[in-house]
Amino acid sequence: MSNIKNIGIMTSGGDSPGMNAAIRAVVRTGIYHGMNVFGIRRGYQGMIEGDIYKMHTTDVSNIIQRGGTILKTARSKEFMTGEGMAKAYNELKKHSIEGLVLIGGDGTFRGAVKFFEQYTMPAVGLPGTIDKDLAGTDFTIGFDTAVNTAVAAIDKIRDTAEAHDRIFIVELMGRDAGYIALNSGISCGAEDILIPETVTNIDEVLDKIAAGERRKKTVQLIVVAEGDDYGGAKEVHESISKRFPELDVRSCILGHIQRGGSPTYADRVLASRLGHAAVNALRAGNTQVMAGIMNNEVAFTPFDKVVKGNMPISEDMLDMIRVLSV
């Protein structure tokens, strides 16, 4: 076991439901093993500015059910400079911090890779991102909640779409990855799902709408990820209206509603498992890795492999969309 006694914890990048549950698990596991745990507010920017304080078990009471993050989060351009990294390292040393737990997404781990090329600081990452766009884990903290939020909203949209015989395009988050759109679209019976991982042929989308109209489908629902190559809801809406001016077409962008809200049980359990595992990894000397879940088991993946690619989209799921939307 390592001799680490003082660890820092921070959340960085976009917030995701379940981050507070992860913070709670890290703080309480660290204290259980006789460690001092320091909270770093506002991610890498707070690290640079020394916004660091010692945490106690009471600091994480009554937060497991809360969305957002009690440590706040921010993106820091300054950290990506040599001067910014030097300031961050010096602040960590001022507080005698010997190891870090980093909760965030792709940008968080890219920053970590560059930082640890310059400075020796054991660290373990936790995948806190609603997008599920990291290699090395089947699920990320916040993904399940975001999908459930999207599904609940789309179900309500379907009600009004059916009442008015409308076509609805719903745009979901997913700049680089379409997992939220894919899983939400399947769950809600969407006629088409447009995601960054596939090339969108708008003519095929329009032909499918025409076929649905011929069969007198009362609801036609299209789910599109914001990062789709053709564009978001606005671009798809314009193309449908141009070809079918007689149809009632509406679009809805759910936006940041997907980031908020109380985490689902799945995200609370996932965050707790990974937070507990992160501290134990630091104690065991297993560092510069992200803790994830693979086949329902905790797995560790080096930072440099995590940031090099997403988990691939299942071809079976893509085929299923085509079949079930007939």
Residue whose C-alpha is closest to residue 194's, from 308, 325, 16: 325
Q: By the 8 A CB rule, do 88 and 50 touch?
A: no
CA angle 135, 270, 297 (to 5 degrees): 65
Judge whether 133 counts as a catalytic residue.
Answer: no
d(CA 232, CA 206): 15
Q: By the 8 A CB rule, do 218 and 165 touch?
A: yes
| DSSP-assigned letter for residue 216 | T
d(CA 166, CA 96): 61
Provide the residue type at 313 as one letter: I
SS3 category, 26: helix
Q: By the 8 A CB rule, do 130 and 180 touch?
A: yes
> Active-site residue among 15, 106, 131, 192?
131
Structure tokens at 133: 């766009």
Residue given tokens 């940008």 in the structure block: 107
Query: Residue 111's CB: how many other CB atoms inside 10 A?
Result: 26
Structure tokens at 59: 């600091």
d(CA 147, CA 273): 20
| DSSP-assigned letter for residue 80 | G
Could you list the active site residues? 131
